[in-house]
Chains A and B, each alone.
Chain A
């Protein structure tokens, strides 16, 4: 184990996005394909990742390009195939394994948190598990309580997994590239609502500019999605877009909102949170995960620990600890909608 670096590590500069536009799904697939071309040890495995191309288009076209030896459809046996990914990673392969919905982690959680996440630590750093476990998260399309959860807070609570959550095509490609190249296990959670799927209500930012070449978005670095001075919204994934929409709307009223896109839940970019909240002194956390015992509390604790007495406002807009309801109006009453975010920001600046 090397000692702590004495100089600041220079992170790779992210390239300019350029003009070519891709959907988030296509950006993800491009990252996987590029890494498969670069490194023959990379392979993809999961349910319906082959001919179907991934239920949420996360692997579309890979079977045609790489064949069934490297794009492997599995039986519905998450414990076996995620565990298989672990063993293959331990032997030097670099599996990208899809758990179709994050909601399904319960049937295979032991392999995820007791094995994938702990082997490196338990082995005293002697065994590496360079594996990506990608999964679809999020609701908003009436898929009900067992197919709409985010759960990134659950994965993040358990040490040993990095947890990345892109909000747009540029980040989706860069974070996937970084995840595949990482020697650590990485949970890669993509929100269905940002994938740019033809059969789902499109978020306008689900299609965006993406560089052609391979590049990394560094794991553990947040992004200032919009600069502002009055209130900080700290958020991630689809909620970034809702927050930006709210910020643009309120700008005309003279309310200047800063939006921080966390990009990564583990490691959490606490510096970025503190820097923003230290400036605005007002914090609204927007999180599509359950409210209690999760990311929103962690962000607030981070700000409170770093800025004792320095906060004028703290609140959160999250799912209020209920299973995600099916009926559309019920579901949208618990999701962090733009209306809820806007109300929270107005309250923040009023105080």
Chain B
């Protein structure tokens, strides 16, 4: 039995459906982000202020992970978190509201798009490269101690694999056989620095060998291969066999952040042809389980969900500036 054949037609359509939903969300944020930042790009202006890191092109990673997780499993993500949050089941309305800095947002407007916390689904992310990994170990420890088979998935970019937090986390998770799945999104770029200038290791997956755990690299942003690799890693973790490391060669379709002119990129010409969504759409169409009508319907459903979330966010109240000191500590503002 090949890996792909383990996926039913429904599973495969669901992977595509998730990718389309994520892309639709990112396109809507892109639209809203740029809507009122002119004349002259002003990063702090508009309804969605601040840096914005969008994940277009990296949807297969999120879809492939999300398909294996259920309520109670944890995920820690990076500063580019939306795709992972959506695939993990974070409330899209509250997430959109947080991105818009509203009181109804996940963090009541205190966090912003790089700092999304949804305890309902055990999701968090970090704005600091590699530093989202260590907390996942603790979530995994808590699950292990509670006698559950829940897992924690810790996602980082390929730049993070050169950081101390990455190596400390792999070592400790391996030592204590924690139910963690480490996933590296290799989108070739650490902001403007190509991975070839960051490390001499051709695949970060080989670094798993240093800690005696399995390492797998998935090429070509292939969602079904990602699904298979994550499935095996999650199975191992749930069975008490410890952590695994997966690196996915994915794609950053857009800039590091919105407003990034990407003058440093020599690969941009070929990028649209590598967009994983039309690629997978064609794959499923060729396999005879998708037609144009069904794909259009998928897009329309995603659009309805996303626009409802955006509308909720835009119509939500802004936080009261007088409340800016709330939530430093659990009982409220302190000296």
- Which residues of A approach B to under 8 Å, CB–CB? 1-2, 4, 69, 74-75, 77, 79-93, 95, 107, 110-111, 114-115, 118-128, 159-160, 162, 182-184, 220, 266-268, 270
Contact = CB atoms under 8 A, between A and B. Distances in A.
Given A84-B141, A87-B141, A267-B335, A121 B328 contact: yes
Nearest to A124: B108
Closest 8 interchain pairs by CB? A83-B134, A87-B138, A124-B108, A91-B142, A80-B168, A87-B135, A88-B138, A123-B117
A93 B143 CA distance: 10
Given A91-B142, A115-B126, A162-B329, 13 more contacts: A80-B168, A82-B134, A87-B137, A87-B140, A87-B142, A90-B119, A92-B142, A93-B138, A111-B135, A123-B107, A125-B327, A126-B107, A126-B118
B45 to A, nearest CB: 22
B135 A79 contact: no
Given A91-B122, A121-B327, A220-B334, A74 B172 contact: yes
A127 B119 contact: yes
A267 B330 CA distance: 13
Contact of B135 (A84, A125, A266, A267): A84
Contacts of A120: 327-330
Contacts of A84: 134-135, 137-138, 141, 172
B: contact size bracket:
35 or more
Nearest to A93: B142
Nearest to B333: A4
Contacts of A183: 330
A93 B142 CA distance: 7
B330 A83 contact: no
Given A111-B131, A119-B117, A122-B107, A1 B326 contact: yes
B106 A124 contact: yes
18 contacts: A2-B332, A79-B169, A80-B165, A80-B172, A83-B169, A86-B135, A86-B138, A87-B76, A93-B142, A115-B128, A120-B330, A122-B112, A123-B111, A123-B119, A160-B328, A184-B329, A266-B335, A267-B334
B328 A87 contact: no
Interface in B10-40: none
Interface string B95-133: 000000000011111111001011100101011100101
B295 to A, nearest CB: 37
Most buried by B among A1, A80, A114: A80
Given A84-B134, A90-B135, A114-B128, A268 B335 contact: yes
A86 B134 contact: yes
B136 A126 contact: no
A77 B110 contact: no
B171 A80 contact: yes
A266 B334 contact: yes
A122 B115 contact: yes
Contacts, number: 161
Given A1-B327, A91-B122, A83 B107 contact: no
A74 B134 CA distance: 13
Nearest to A114: B128
Given A119-B124, A120-B328, A127-B117, A270 B335 contact: yes
Given A80-B165, A127-B117, A220-B334, A87 B139 contact: yes
A328 B163 CA distance: 38
A4 B131 CA distance: 35
B228 to A, nearest CB: 27
Given A80-B171, A115-B126, A268-B335, A88 B330 contact: no
Interface string B290-308: 0000000000000000000
A2 B172 CA distance: 39
B289 interface: no
B202 interface: no
B313 interface: no
A115 B106 contact: no
Contacts of A184: 329-330
B205 interface: no
A77 B171 contact: yes
Given A83-B135, A123-B106, A88 B332 contact: no
B7 interface: no
A110 B326 contact: no
Nearest to A131: B138
Contacts of B331: 2
B120 to A, nearest CB: 9
A124 B116 CA distance: 10
Interface string B166-178: 0011011001000
A119 B134 CA distance: 14
A3 B106 CA distance: 20
Contacts of A86: 134-135, 138
